[in-house]
Copies of this chain bind each other. A is one copy, B any other.
């Protein structure tokens, strides 16, 4: 089975001010034709570093793809590094020189002398056409390794990758296709989910199941390999369904579905509406709901009652509740939700009140304490949470938890 290693080249990638997107793009493309990337190396504009990375990539894999270092300036060293790695001289490719000259001629310009260097390629290697810029790519074969050098400009690189590199690699086959599916969960920690999965996460299993966590959302990546696209896909689909049956309501969606999207789909399908009454999240729940195109079908009203005065005046929360229980309390939260539902005349209302910090916490009511209510015209469910981490995470977890409570309410309504 073929595999690949990527070398991305450029000082700008090592000073932290340019994020490399080329590697992720190439990884995805290769995996889609059954070729896993086993390593990515990022090095600066330095011949010996580039050569060392090429040697290491050749130890790791049989397809090597580099990006960057093909421009016309002194810091573009990939051509020379390729020649050194291959143990050959650079020569001028006269046809390539003519192509570059024409690239400028078409724009009514003479070719700057320094661009002539872009027609240098290692002896025995072949140029790869770049219809969108002056930097041609390089293709070389040595022993049982194939090498491709592509420019670093993503727009040019993508075009060349799809037009020239991918068709070539596909011929090599891929005797194995890989499909990646995702199962997205909310409402339990990573270790709780891992325990439910048991030995499904074993390293030697196919599909391989990995988990990642972000803001309380656990994503299970189902990486399925098969002799062709269909079989890999079927195997993945079986696991997706099995994970669903194991994890039940913890699963909110698959692949790239988000929680606000799923909630929006449930509301739309059931022709239900929702209003929001937010304190500590300050509009974040409404923002997430209205991120989704078409959300005006189910979201109409939101209140941000950040001060106590706003809670009393705009939502009619009894002043007595605030005096007796505090603004961060079950009583105030459910009063906010009930009032929002009645004022907006929606099917549901969500309310959130809590202490996002960093200040404002106490022993009884620490930073991270959040109450969340989801009410319809008859029932009101209020839950108490203590979320970890900082203001940003407390607010985000609160908003996502509220959306998840609404999702569960919608599912039980439908059931």
Contact = CB atoms under 8 A, between A and B. Distances in A.
A85 interface: no
Given A39-B53, A357-B293, A389-B132, A306 B299 contact: yes
A282 interface: yes
A94 interface: no
Interface stretch (A10-18, A169-177, A372-380): A10-18
A290 B296 contact: no
A42 interface: yes
Contacts of A180: 15, 17
Interface in A185-217: 189-192, 194-195, 201-203, 208, 210-214
Contacts of A190: 71-73
A41 B38 contact: no
A142 to B, nearest CB: 21
A286 B293 contact: no
Interface in A1-59: 10-21, 23-29, 31, 36-45, 49, 53, 56
Contacts of A41: 39-42
24 contacts: A11-B221, A12-B210, A14-B27, A14-B37, A14-B38, A14-B39, A15-B27, A15-B223, A16-B26, A19-B19, A40-B40, A71-B213, A281-B290, A282-B286, A283-B287, A283-B304, A287-B287, A290-B395, A293-B357, A293-B391, A295-B306, A301-B310, A302-B303, A304-B304
Interface of A: 10-21, 23-29, 31, 36-45, 49, 53, 56, 71-75, 106-108, 112, 114-115, 132-133, 153, 155, 180, 182, 189-192, 194-195, 201-203, 208, 210-214, 221, 223, 276, 278, 280-287, 289-291, 293-296, 299-307, 309-310, 313-314, 343-344, 357-359, 386, 388-393, 395
